[in-house]
Amino acid sequence: MANIQDKIAKLFPEATFEEGEFLLINIPDEKLHSLCETLRDDEELSFDYLVTIVGMDWKESLGCVYYLTSTKTNAHISIKVSTTDRENPALTSVADLWKIACILEREVYDFFGIVFVGNPDMRRLFLNIDWKGFPLRKDYDTNPELNPVSIENERQTDDTYVYTRDEKGNLVKNVSKVFEEGDFVVNIGPQHPATHGVLRFRTAVDGETIKKIDVYMGYIHRGVEKLCENLTYPQTLHYMDRLDYFSAHNYHHGLCMCIEKAAGIEVSRRVQVIRVLMDELSRIASHCLFIGTYCMDLGATTMLFYTLRVREQILDIMEKTCGARMTFNYSTIGGVMQDLHPDFVKDVKALLAVIPANIKEYNKVFTGNIIAKNRMEGVGVLSREDAISYGVTGPSGRASGWACDIRKTDPYSIYSELDFEEVTATEGDSMARFKCRLAEIEQSAHIIEQLIDNIPEGEIQAKVPKVLRLPAGHWFQLMEGCRGVFGVYIESDGGTSPYRLKIAPPCLNLAAVVDHITRGDKIADLITIGGSLDYIVPDMDR
């Protein structure tokens, strides 16, 4: 870390550094772009994966924190940039360096009103286009009269904006169109059987061939980040179940780890093991559902029932221990809600016994089918470079040959002691994404096998103060959800609720990449590709 700091200090004398979890570089806005370019392109550093952009309102200034990861060394670094102009805040865009930055900057603009100069598509992302105010600013007026519930149709426009600076350095707003004149635009969604939730693809087609897709999000935006700012830390946990509801355990685990790290709480080994068991069971259930719904999207309805059989068995196990089949709300800060059910070990062993036969059946019914092969092979190819540039993680990223499993790159909890393989493929097509998930079920089962016979005894809840206050500071935690890398950022001012809680979901990136990989394919391929990416809409909308 020190030599990185020296190197950057030499190149950018105006940068200041803060030590912390990761090295934090303070940089003035003018130098941001060249710093990012250096960090990304330098052979030694190669911070080529933009994990997230955290928009921030520090009251006296507005700004962003960029989290970068090197795919070569797995090192992390963060960059902080701010502006004191609250009236017309503007920062330099890095959308030309990382393709995902375009969407992430739109999100920051939506919540903080910070305009990114050079971003090709500076629209709102989640809120509707007539929304007044920027909700995550600390001076946001929450008066409902300002933004009444509309009973009219939402105003729609094809206009998008690009901000540039003229010679004097003033902001210039240029209007451009999302679609070309005369494009045949089909609305796929928000109510559509194959978008897996209320997501809307505005699809410009030429016959059956897709010309461009405008992903329109926000139909299920609930402002989780804003809500969390007014809740105590234990209360914020409940929202994690409602993001990606198939990785509810994983997300809970992630936020708990972040808070525990900040508060310095040690959790017992029993809790660690239980949490990992639950994470991996969730992963199997989630991938089973993926296989079923994906086959259904392709027209093979029967497969759904075969995969739901396994998922149902897992949900029964969950129900016995957690008391719920969805939104489990199981992990707590410092522990878990209840101890394992007496039947847990027996039930899990029964599950492990049926998994191999089921996977064999899935392969027999679907994977080897000639029609399935024709539909999936070579469809929606995502190269490794694009996967990194778009930050497509999880099984989808690994299918493109990018080893991005946080369980391996940044092992958390007890994953470093476990023996499992990171499943990767090189094809990057829909078939590879499908097969990666199928193979991950086997790996998760293998992890569970190692743990199920030696769950240690111990406390299930560490001692946690009744009123939990985190010391002032900021923390960032990454963890592997079922669909990719889930990041959570907490900034605390020493109070009982977070000053800022930012969630970096994997599904936002998955939806952002759809336009890139469907161009020139058929409408039917959009369904194949969207299904194979396996995004969850509440996760991207938050």
Tell me how far apart the alpha carbons of residues 102 and 110 are, in angstroms, rounded to a whole number.
Answer: 12
Write out the H or E segment, with its range, that includes residue 128. Answer: none
| Residue 208 interacts with other proteins (CB under 8 A): yes or no | yes
With contacts defined by CB under 8 A, name the span among 14-22, 93-101, 333-341, 367-375 that binds other proteins. 367-375
DSSP 476-495: EEEEE-SSSEEEEEEEE-SS
In this structure, which amino acid lies at residue 468?
A: L
Smallest gap from Cβ 351 to other proteins, in A, equals: 17
Of 83, 369, 409, 461, the residue at the interface with other proteins (CB under 8 A) is: 369
| Residue 295 interacts with other proteins (CB under 8 A): yes or no | yes
Based on CB atoms, which residue is closest to other proteins, 143 or 187? 187
Smallest gap from Cβ 311 to other proteins, in A, equals: 13
Distances (CA, A) of 39 to 12, 28, 43, 77: 12, 16, 9, 9
Distances (CA, A) of 45 to 72, 99, 157, 451: 8, 19, 42, 37
Identify the sign of the CA torsion 119, 124, 130, 133.
negative
Distances (CA, A) of 398 to 192, 243, 404, 418: 28, 22, 6, 20
Question: What value does the CA radius of gyration of the chain take, rounded to a whole number of Å?
Answer: 23
Q: Are 428 and 282 in contact (CB under 8 A)?
A: no
Smallest gap from Cβ 514 to other proteins, in A, equals: 15
Based on CB atoms, which residue is closest to other proteins, 202 or 252? 202
Binding mask 12-41 for other proteins (x = CB under 8 A): ------------------------------
Q: What are the DSSP E strand ranges found in 70-188?
A: 76-83, 90-92, 115-117, 159-165, 171-177, 184-188
| Residue 381 interacts with other proteins (CB under 8 A): yes or no | no
Based on CB atoms, which residue is closest to other proteins, 148 or 193? 193
With contacts defined by CB under 8 A, name the span among 188-196, 210-218, 387-395, 499-507 that binds other proteins. 188-196
With contacts defined by CB under 8 A, name the span among 67-75, 183-191, 246-254, 284-292 that binds other proteins. 183-191
With contacts defined by CB under 8 A, name the span among 108-116, 144-152, 305-313, 506-514 that binds other proteins. 305-313
Binding mask 130-169 for other proteins (x = CB under 8 A): ----------------------------------------
| Residue 447 interacts with other proteins (CB under 8 A): yes or no | no
Tell me 247's DSSP state: G
Tell me how far apart the alpha carbons of residues 321 and 249 are, in angstroms, rounded to a whole number.
Answer: 13
Based on CB atoms, which residue is closest to other proteins, 396 or 430? 430
Distances (CA, A) of 234 to 250, 330, 331, 394, 493: 16, 12, 10, 28, 17
Based on CB atoms, which residue is closest to other proteins, 45 or 355? 355
| Number of residues binding to other proteins, judged by CB under 8 A | 32
How does 453-479 read in b/e, with b if 16+ C-beta sit within 10 Å?
eeeeeeebbbebeeebebeeebbbbbb
| Residue 211 interacts with other proteins (CB under 8 A): yes or no | no
**No. of H helices and E strands in the chain?**
18, 17
| Residue 124 interacts with other proteins (CB under 8 A): yes or no | no
Residue 520 makes CB contacts below 8 A (sequence gap 6+) with 209, 210
3-state secondary structure of 431: helix
Of 115, 296, 382, 507, the residue at the interface with other proteins (CB under 8 A) is: 296
| Residue 305 interacts with other proteins (CB under 8 A): yes or no | yes
Based on CB atoms, which residue is closest to other proteins, 102 or 298? 298
Based on CB atoms, which residue is closest to other proteins, 84 or 302? 302
| Residue 525 interacts with other proteins (CB under 8 A): yes or no | yes
| Residue 309 interacts with other proteins (CB under 8 A): yes or no | yes
| Residue 523 interacts with other proteins (CB under 8 A): yes or no | yes
Tell me how far apart the alpha carbons of residues 55 and 65 are, in angstroms, rounded to a whole number.
Answer: 7
Of 184, 338, 421, 520, the residue at the interface with other proteins (CB under 8 A) is: 184
| Residue 346 interacts with other proteins (CB under 8 A): yes or no | no
Q: Which residues bind other proteins (CB under 8 A)?
A: 184, 186-187, 192-194, 208, 295-302, 304-306, 309, 365-366, 369, 371-372, 374-375, 522-527
